[in-house]
Structure 1
Amino acid sequence: MAKRDYYEVLGLDKSASAQDIKRAYRKLAREYHPDINQEADAADKFKEIGEAYEVLSDEQKRAQYDRFGFEGASQFGGGDFQGGFGDIFDMFFGGGGRRQDPNAPRRGEDYQYVVDLDFMESVTGKTETIELEIEVECDTCMGSGAKPGTKPETCGRCGGSGVETVEQNTILGRMVNQRPCSQCHGTGKTIKEKCPTCHGSGHVKKTQRVEVKIPAGIDNGQQIRMSGKGGPGFNGGPAGDLYVVVRVRGHEIFERVDQHIAMEMPVTFTQAALGAEIEVPTVHGKVSLKVPAGTQTGSKFRLRGKGMPSVRGGGHGDQYVTIVIMTPTNMTDRQKELLREFEEISGEAGVEEQHGLFQKMKKFFSH
């Protein structure tokens, strides 16, 4: 089979960084490792991936390959998979076969929970009570997994280490692999008489109510970390954490932009032309806004301190109001008559003097 470009093998382009190369290699090596992937061509692909990584992970070899192709790489012994075993052992064998004590304290799992908020609830904040189904230590066996009056015994297969050694012949040669013991599943202990409540797991599921204080000003996608509210630890290890992810529903009027709020405010033609004092809604209630005479559609006004509060305290953002002039529809004959009269009195001159856009348009069409 003809050799494929090394960048193509790893799914990268020539601008890839060293970190990109390592990340791509680890992902593909894990996917095509012969011990994991049973496809007929997995071993060949695994070898191809290792060969590409050996060259591209070495700056000197990579430079020669980029300049001269496979011939350049072969000057340094490239083109045949020789290295990468350190990374493979790190991925598959726990860092070169290092043993971990199965009875050592282990931290519990982290949990995640999603809370949906209305827009206004994100402004004011709230206290939410959520229900979680978590695993807690079994009260019957006190976490041992054994029937009361009995206790777990040291695993006879692994001698309590929790791992067993397996030798395999692969395309890369004879490899020694350490994996969790098939008899005790890595615990180092066996239970002859299991607890009738937890069936040997040492944990039972329980519904727990947790009170979450959601701060004012929280944004969509932000999360709250609650230390120690996750899954229980093992062998006396600490509990995991609970991460509450907040999703904020959109609002029909307000749009959040960082800590600020944007909105469009409709005004009548008369209000924009003559000026007016109007009421504008904000997340903190209604406020008065003076619209000066001659205001144009698209004009923006800033309401200081009327935006979102900071989740860390220290003030509020602002609210930006964009004016939208509403063109009247379904006018009466009298209204149309008055507008025509207004147009006759105003003429084009007054408009052209005020608006440079009219001058630009007039100049354009005069060519």
Structure 2
Amino acid sequence: MADHYDVLGVSREATPEEIKKAYRRLARELHPDVNPSPDAQEKFKQVTHAYDVLSDPGQRRDYDRGPQPGFGGGGGAGFGGFGDIFETFFGGQGGASRGPKSREERGQDALLRVEVDLGEVIFGTHRDLEVDTAVVCETCNGSCCQPGTSPVTCDICGGSGSIQRTVRSLLGNVVTSAPCGTCRGYGTVIPNPCPTCQGQGRVRARRTIPVDIPAGVDTGLRLQMPGQGEVGPAGGPQGDVYLEMKVRHHDVFSRNDDDLLCTLEVQMWDAVLGTTTTIQALDGDIEIEIKPGTQSAEVLTVKGRGITHLRGNGRGDLRVGIQVVTPTKLDHKQKELMKQLASAHKYPAPTLGHFQQGLFAKLRDRFLNV
């Protein structure tokens, strides 16, 4: 890279006022509004960068000193750094150079909340999720530079990414290190940033993430999708996506672990005489047999018609709770038939007995095998 003093056409002893006058003169000659030639534009950028460095007292002092020995810049002679202190007291060379940091960083993780129906949980389902995230810039392909250009070595830190300063102490001269303020510790600068991503190497965009949701998920469960998150700065590795599941409420069926629960209303005469009926389950029709004398709160179990286990093979069961419905509106003929039935069997009159819990409490206990 050309010397900044040569670019501005001034001596190394030039005063700040002389540097400012030289910059103004060259800027008037090379500014793109005055001189549109490509060579003039490139020279204008060099002049501007040289002025930015030399007009700042701190950067000019670092530039005049050049890359310094110590952390990030190689070892120094004599007693000029921590390495020398370690060598003096312990007979060995102290810590190695850390070097400049990379522009590439890992992208952030994302948390997405996904709702599924109870029926979709039985066998699993598929979703195409639309997300607004960071993707690699197609113009620079993550390089952060305008096409045809590349980063250049920082002329302040010499590519080490850090600036060393010597502090005098009782033990001698101790070298301290801090990130270079010009390149921000990267060791390089980008004179021509990509116009699309503004030198970030990534842009915001809408992206579709295909997701296969496994069977057996439940509300609150989180699924991890490695490498599906946003792209990091300078086209760095993608973060992860976490899917937090929520199973929607169903009006007929509820869930207990991998079992499905429901209630079937049976007319009194069907409970007495027995019958068969077909119910519409979440995965197809099921024929249910009501045996004669079935009582309220009995639970019928249909094996293997519940939810597929999340880890492993097989499915839970469908558990059907019976609720016998007593008719409340009978016509004259139906009432006479009921009276004939009652007189024929000589049922005992109602009597006090032990306390019996309600229907739904019985169903709950039997559903949960309490």
TM-score (norm 2): 0.56
Find the counterpart in structure 2 of residue 307 from structure 1.
Answer: 306
**Distance in 2, Cα, partners of 1:270 & 1:309:** 36
Tell me: CA distance 1:351–1:102, structure 2 relative to 1, closer, same or farther (3 Å): farther
Runs (5+) with no aligned partner, structure 2: 1-97, 165-176, 356-370
In the alignment, is the contact (CA less than 8 A) between 1:279 and 1:289 conserved in 2? yes
Q: CA deviation at 1:328?
A: 1.6
Q: CA deviation at 1:100?
A: 9.3
**Distance in 2, Cα, partners of 1:351 & 1:286:** 40
Q: CA deviation at 1:157?
A: 8.2
Find the counterpart in structure 1 of residue 353 from structure 2.
Answer: 359
**Distance in 1, Cα, partners of 2:338 & 2:256:** 39
Q: CA deviation at 1:139?
A: 2.9
**Distance in 1, Cα, partners of 2:137 & 2:281:** 52
- Describe the SS at the equivalent of 2:354: helix
Q: CA deviation at 1:187?
A: 5.1
Find the counterpart in structure 2 of residue 248 from structure 1.
Answer: 247
In the alignment, is the contact (CA less than 8 A) between 1:261 and 1:308 conserved in 2? yes
Q: CA deviation at 1:241?
A: 2.1
1:24-35 mapped onto 2 (5 Å cutoff):
none
Find the counterpart in structure 2 of residue 228 from structure 1.
Answer: 227
Residues 137-184 of structure 1, C-alpha deviations (whole Å, 9 max, x = no match): 22323323233344445668888777899xxxxxxxxxxxx9988776
**Distance in 2, Cα, partners of 1:270 & 1:249:** 36
Q: CA deviation at 1:190?
A: 4.3
In the alignment, is the contact (CA less than 8 A) between 2:143 and 2:201 conserved in 1? yes
Q: CA deviation at 1:255?
A: 0.8
In the alignment, is the contact (CA less than 8 A) between 2:264 and 2:322 conserved in 1? yes
Find the counterpart in structure 1 of residue 268 from structure 2.
Answer: 269
1:132-147 mapped onto 2 (5 Å cutoff):
132-147=131-146
Residues 160-213 of structure 1, C-alpha deviations (whole Å, 9 max, x = no match): 777899xxxxxxxxxxxx998877666565444432111121111233323222
Runs (5+) with no aligned partner, structure 1: 1-98, 166-177, 353-357, 362-367
In the alignment, is the contact (CA less than 8 A) between 1:283 and 1:307 conserved in 2? no
CA RMSD of aligned residues (A): 3.7
Tell me: CA distance 1:345–1:311, structure 2 relative to 1, closer, same or farther (3 Å): same
Q: CA deviation at 1:122?
A: 2.0
- Describe the SS at the equivalent of 1:129: strand
In the alignment, is the contact (CA less than 8 A) between 2:159 and 2:187 conserved in 1? yes
1:1-367 mapped onto 2 (5 Å cutoff):
102-103=101-102, 106-153=105-152, 189-234=188-233, 237-349=236-348, 358-360=352-354
- Describe the SS at the equivalent of 1:228: coil
- Count of aligned positions: 248
> Which amino acid in the other structure matches residue 318 of structure 1?
D
- Describe the SS at the equivalent of 1:360: coil
**Distance in 1, Cα, partners of 2:207 & 2:315:** 35
Of structures 1 and 2, the larger Rg is shown by 2
Tell me: CA distance 1:351–1:153, structure 2 relative to 1, closer, same or farther (3 Å): farther
**Distance in 1, Cα, partners of 2:184 & 2:336:** 90
In the alignment, is the contact (CA less than 8 A) between 2:216 and 2:310 conserved in 1? yes
Find the counterpart in structure 2 of residue 32 from structure 1.
Answer: none
**Distance in 1, Cα, partners of 2:162 & 2:349:** 90
**Distance in 2, Cα, partners of 1:114 & 1:233:** 22
> Which amino acid in the other structure matches residue 130 of structure 2?
E
> Which amino acid in the other structure matches residue 219 of structure 1?
D
**Distance in 2, Cα, partners of 1:162 & 1:340:** 100
**Distance in 1, Cα, partners of 2:112 & 2:159:** 37
> Which amino acid in the other structure matches residue 328 of structure 1?
P
In the alignment, is the contact (CA less than 8 A) between 2:278 and 2:286 conserved in 1? yes
Tell me: CA distance 1:163–1:246, structure 2 relative to 1, closer, same or farther (3 Å): farther
Q: CA deviation at 1:308?
A: 0.7
